[in-house]
Structures are given as C-alpha cells and as structure tokens.
Amino acid sequence: MKALEVSGLSFAYGPDSVLKDVSFALDRGSALYLLGPNGCGKSTLLGCILGFHHPGSGTILVEGKPVHRFSARQFAGMVSYVPQIHEKSFPYKVAEVVLMGRTVSHSAFSSPGKEDKRLALEALERVGLQGFAERRYTELSGGELRLVLIARALCQDSQLMLLDEPTAHLDFKHEINVLAILTKLIRDTGLTVLMASHSLNHPFYFENEGIDTRVALIDEGRIFQIGTPANVCTRENFYNVYGIESRVKVHHEEGKDRHYVISWK
Amino acid sequence: MDTLEKQAAKPALLLVFITLPFAAALLSLCTGRYPIPPITVFRALLQGVSGRQAGVSAEAMTIITGIRLPRTIMGAFVGAALAASGTAFQGVFRNPLVNSGILGVSSGASLGAAISILLFQNSTLTPVFAFAFGLMAVFFSYIVGRVHNSSSTVTLVLGGTIISSIFSSLLSFIKYIADPLNQLPAITFWTMGSLASIVVSNMKFAIVPIILGMILLLFNRWNINVLSMGDQEAKMLGLNTGATKLTVILGATLATAGAVCVSGTIGWVGLIVPHMARMLTGNDNRRLMPVSISMGACFLVMVDVLCRVISDAEIPIGIMTSIIGGPFFIYLIKKKKGDGWT
C-alpha cells in the first residue's frame, strides 16, 4: 500500500482552475519534493490533501483510505503538517507548543499527561532544541520556530509529514539543519515526507544522503514532470517551467558525485 | 526552579487558589455599615446550617445570612463566570483584548432586562428575559459569523460587533420610550451592574448556568490552547474545530448570561482578571482557567466590599470595576511592559 496516493485531482477557486488532473503516489519512507514557480499550485495541493480545500474531482488516499473518511483525530494520527506561516497568538512556552502535537493521543475532554510531556521533550531533543522547553516560543528566531513546529509535528507520531517551504527565511545553518533532521527522521523512523519548496538544490541533498527521493515539477496546476532529481531537475525543464537559463553541475569529491544547480546569464 | 521544587510548589499553589475566594468571602461577610467580627460570622453560619442557637443576635443573623451571604456568593460566582468566559474567548479568538461580551451576550441581556422592566415591572421576570436575550444575541452572532458552513474567528467577531450594535440601538430606543420617572432609572441602574439587588429566589437563574458553563470550559481547557493555534493548525493537530469552538462558546455564553442576568453588565472583569492570571501562571489554559476562576471570584467580592465601605450611598459595582480596572490595567502594562502576555 502507498503512504499517499493522489489521482486525477482537480481544484478551482471559483472559476479559476488551480490544479488540473494531478496524480502521483508516495511510497512509505520516501520523500517527494514539490517544485514550481510561485502560484503554480503547490500549497493548494497540500491544502487539498490536508482537507483545507475540497477538490472538484479526483481521489486522495492516505494508507489506502480516502482523506474525507478520516475524523480530524484519526487524520492527525496519520498525517502531520508543518505550516509555512505560523501566526503566533499567546506567548506559550516552547514545551507547551510542542505538547499540542499530543492532542491526537487523548480523548476529547482530557489534557496531555506526564508521558506526553516526556514525548514532547524527546521531540525537542530530536530537533536539537534541548534546553528550550521553558522559553517563550514568541521570542524564538524564525529558524528555531520552524524547528519547534517540526517537533510538534513529530509528537503526533504520524507516518506522513507534509511541510510547506520548511526552509523559507532560514539562514544557511538552520536550512541545512532542517534538511539534516528530516533526513535522519526518514532514515531512522521510516517517515514519509512531502514538501513544497523553492530550493532547487534540496532534492539533490536528500538524494546524496541516500533517501528515496523524487521531484514533482509543477507548472500552472499540472505536474510537468515527476521522477528522480537527476531526471527532473534539468536545464531544459527549468527553462520550460521558470523561463530561466540554468546549469546543473556535478561536484566530485571524496569519491562522491554531488549535483547542484546554478543560474546562467 | 528545578522540577522537584516545582512539583512541591504545585499543591501549595492549588491550596492558595482554593482558599483565597473563601478568605475574600469571609471579609465580605464581616464588613459593611455594621461591622461584624469573624467569630460571630462563623457562629451565624453554623446556626444557619445546623439550626441550633449559637448565641447570635437576630439582627446579625439577618445581615449575614439574609443580606451579605447571598450577595457574597453571587459576587463570587459572577466574578468567576466573567473571568472564565473572558479567558476562554481570548483563547478562541486568539486575541488578548477580547472580553466575555465579545459575542453580544451583555448587550443582549441588557435589552432583555429593559424589555422586561418596560412591559412587566416584575423583578422575577427580569433575569429570565436577560438570560434569554443574552443567549439569543450570541446565537444571532454565531449565525451571522458562520460563512460557508464554518465559523472563522474574524467573521464571528464581526457578527458579535454587528449584533451588539443592533441590540444596543434597540436598548436606546426602549430607554427613549420608557417612563422617565420609574422605568428609565430602573433600566439605567440595571445596565450599570450591581450586586445590591440580588434576590435569593433569583440566584438559581444564575448559579445553574454559571456552573454548567464553567464545567464545559474546564473540560475544554486544553482544547482552548489548541484552538488558539488557529483553525487550520488546530484541525491538523487532531481537533474537531467546529464542535470544539461551539462547545467553548456555549460554555462561555452560559456562564456570562448566568452572571449578567442577575447582576447587570459588570465590565472589565472578563478582560482584566484573565490578564492578571496570565501574568501569574502563563498562558497554558490547563492552569490559567482554574486560576482565572479563583481570581475572578476574589476580585469581584473584594470590589463589592469596597463599594459598600467607600461611602454611605453604595456605588454600583459596574462603575467601581471600571474605575479600579482601568488604572490597574495601565499599571500592569507599564510595569510589566506587556511581558508574559503579548
């Protein structure tokens, strides 16, 4: 069974068609990277899978079951989500925010207990934020906040994680840190990851780390091409979708080939 | 503070917040035009409960069990209810400036009370009308705020603002046509908020919905945390956002309507007490909600004591909460520089 299977998905905001006949499937323990220009429909696609939008046609199956047949609690146990933008409200402590990921584990009117607290602290440790538990989450930097949201998603203990631009606005160090943590999770826990991003080099990062990685290049609501990073991230494809000349190069060092993309002219 | 110390501090803190309202109540029973020593108060309460003569004069008995006790109990419940619903609404609407009247319950209750005074001049019907109209106003706000079968916080607040404004206009209209000699003062006095006119027979209109509402809010206190992350995130964290939001709104509305229907509109409690509690305990509703309830009860009982002792003619409590609440709020903002809550 596939972790996620989307077939014939179409969606429109009123008369404006956003997604047209999108189909793809995701094996357990793999990573799919959604690339494409601003407004091509990446976030809308994530929104359809998460149930924020109701698709006009097509089916979305998580572990073989249509998404609309899950209750909110069941769904959160299967799929976790790291939003691109988080609007802060009250200055909760970091541990309290991460603990909210444990909402799935208890009944409607009860609160998380000691065991949940332990899992929350463990999740914080896994994203490298040990010692942050008692800090106010409103005072964190953008990179730290992103890690807190990833820790919260980790707490849900779901098999599939959706991330919307997980490295946007992060500095070099935090960017690589997020990628390394995701790599480790996929490798250690068999997590399946679907993420939307603008970083053309990131798919190669996962591939270089030995993760089963694929890229879906999306253009005007359609999947332009889907396949391995080496097949999809090419000069021709980038020109056709972004209209920008680029070069995909190979860097050879310590007996390893590493791909990277640079713009040209 | 290390974890061990923290665990030791928890029960102690719990004890403090359970004891405080009773301490405030005792003070309230002792003070007034005729000061009564605590020992006499205890004897009178004992006599009231057991029915056995404990050597308390009939006069003191009447003052304590007939006048001050109902008033003190009501003050504690009203304060607790307003603080709890203010805390809940702040969480649900993700906004620290929201208070218990955000969905129009207060203006609805005022209109209901005014209609009752205009039509019946009957003090038993006034809380019933106030309660019913309070619920009705929130129901309308909820219907207005429901767009595309979901209730976003923005449209709900808009709905509340619109309905409040309509009900306030209707209230003005009723004041305009009311008899200026007896009805108009009665309406005005009601809208100022007061604990002086509590009648024992009316207390059930208040206490039952207040307890029901607070139970709903206490059961949902973790869910309020999750709701404050925003609708989409709350849903992704596994919360049935529609049903939970409705339950919290229902709880907060029952509590507020119960409070307002016997006491009139008492402002500021639902805004300022949650903030005092936030500064003490942080924003986690698991701790915040019970502490808000305790502090709300203390706050209103203490303000009521002040209303009685400050001058011979009693000051309506709604005026007093604003006079104290406003400057105190300024003090909190300046001293804490918004620390710990925004």
Q: Report pLDDT digits (tens) over B99-117.
A: 888 899 999 999 999 999 8
Q: A229-234 contacts: CB < 8 A, separation 24 or more?
A: A229/A33, A229/A203, A229/A204, A229/A259, A230/A259, A232/A35, A232/A203, A233/A35, A233/A200, A233/A203, A233/A204, A233/A259, A233/A261
Average pLDDT over residues B134-144: 93
pLDDT at A99 exceeding the cut of 90: yes
Q: Locate tokens 């809550």: which residue?
A: B341
Confidence at B336, pLDDT banded by 50, 70, 90 = low
Task: Report d(CA A161, CA A182) in Å as an integer.
Answer: 10
Contacts of A87 in chain B (CB under 8 A): 94, 230
User: What's the DSSP call for residue A53?
Assistant: S
Q: Report pLDDT digits (tens) over B221-258.
A: 999 999 999 989 999 999 999 899 999 999 999 999 99
Helix residue spans in B100-240 (DSSP H) = 105-119, 125-145, 153-177, 183-192, 203-219, 221-227, 231-236
Is there a contact between A91 and B221 if contact means CB atoms under 8 Å apart? no
- The encoded tokens of residue B315 equal 């000051």
Least confident of B122-126, B167-171, B259-263: B122-126
pLDDT at B1 exceeding the cut of 60: no
**pLDDT score at A42:** 92
Residue of A nearest to B222 (CA): A111
Task: Report d(CA A193, CA A161) in Å as an integer.
Answer: 5
Q: From the CB of residue B243, how many other CB atoms can be counted at a distance below 10 Å?
A: 12
Task: Report d(CA B255, CA B207) in Å as an integer.
Answer: 9
Tell me if B291 sits within 8 A of B277, measured CB to CB.
Answer: yes
Least confident of B16-20, B147-151, B224-228, B274-278: B147-151
- The encoded tokens of residue A157 equal 């203990």
| b/e map A144-173, b = 16+ CB within 10 Å | bbbbbbbbbbbbbbbbbbbbbbbbeebeee
Confidence at A16, pLDDT banded by 50, 70, 90 = confident
Identity at A96, one-letter amino acid code: E
- Give bridge partners of residue A79 from the DSSP assignment: A160
pLDDT at A72 exceeding the cut of 50: yes
Q: What angle do CA B223, B76, B8 make, to 5 degrees?
A: 60
Tell me if A23 sits within 8 A of A57, measured CB to CB.
Answer: no
Average pLDDT, chain B: 87
Query: Residue A1 burial by CB count (10 A; 0-12/13-18/19+): exposed, middle or buried?
Result: exposed
Size of interface A-B (CB pairs under 8 A): 85
Residue of A nearest to B247 (CA): A109
**pLDDT score at B122:** 67
Share above pLDDT 90 across residues of chain B, in percent, rounded to a whole number: 45
**pLDDT score at B195:** 84
Q: Considering only residues A89 and B27, tell me which one the structure prediction assigns the higher pLDDT.
A: B27
* A87 → closest Cβ in B226, B230, B240: B230
**pLDDT score at B3:** 43
- The encoded tokens of residue B285 equal 């509703």
Q: Report pLDDT digits (tens) over B29-76.
A: 998 888 888 888 888 888 888 877 777 788 888 888 888 999 999 999
- The encoded tokens of residue B33 equal 């035009």
pLDDT at B90 exceeding the cut of 90: yes
Number of H helices, E strands in chain A: 9, 12
In chain B, the N- to C-terminal Cα span, in Å, equals: 23
**pLDDT score at B333:** 74
Contacts of A89 in chain B (CB under 8 A): 94-95, 228-230
Q: Report pLDDT digits (tens) over A103-149.
A: 988 777 777 888 899 999 999 998 888 899 999 999 898 889 999 99
Task: Report d(CA B172, CA B167) in Å as an integer.
Answer: 9
Tell me if B151 sits within 8 A of B245, measured CB to CB.
Answer: yes
pLDDT at B291 exceeding the cut of 80: yes
Average pLDDT, chain A: 91
Average pLDDT over residues B19-24: 93
pLDDT at B2 exceeding the cut of 50: no
